[in-house]
């Protein structure tokens, strides 16, 4: 893949947003095609998306909104673990 491209021609920022929203799941097969810079870029954007999701204000009495926020955080956390482990296997410093 060319430098700066994501999955299916999407930017890494859009890939991170898709992962957070549940439209895409992160797995080692997807990361197999990524080079060093793409993995670093994806990791950075996943972290930014995680911080953005953490900062979403949710009223404590809104169960549906709380569930949505927690699902986003869970999907991003799992994607970060997968990317981190993949980077460690490829000996890429994040």
| Residue ranges of domains in the chain | 12-89
- Supply 63's token pair: 């169960």
pLDDT in tens, 29-83: 999 989 999 999 999 999 999 999 999 999 999 999 999 999 999 999 999 999 9
Which pTM was predicted? Answer: 0.87
**Alpha carbon separation from 61 to 58, 64, 66, 74 (Å, rounded):** 8, 9, 9, 20
- Supply 62's token pair: 């809104």
Separation CA 18–CA 42 (nearest Å): 12
Q: Which positions ≥6 away from 12 have C-beta within 8 Å? A: 6, 38, 41, 42, 44, 45
């Amino acid at each position: 893949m060319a430098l700066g491209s994501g999955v299916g021609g999407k930017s890494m920022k859009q890939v991170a947003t898709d992962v957070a929203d549940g439209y895409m799941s992160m797995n080692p097969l997807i990361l197999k095609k990524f080079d060093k810079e793409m993995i670093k870029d994806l990791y950075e954007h996943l972290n930014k998306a995680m911080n953005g999701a953490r900062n979403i204000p949710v009223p404590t009495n809104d169960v549906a909104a709380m569930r949505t926020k927690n699902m986003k955080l869970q999907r991003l956390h799992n994607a970060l673990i997968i990317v981190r482990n993949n980077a460690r296997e490829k000996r890429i410093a994040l």
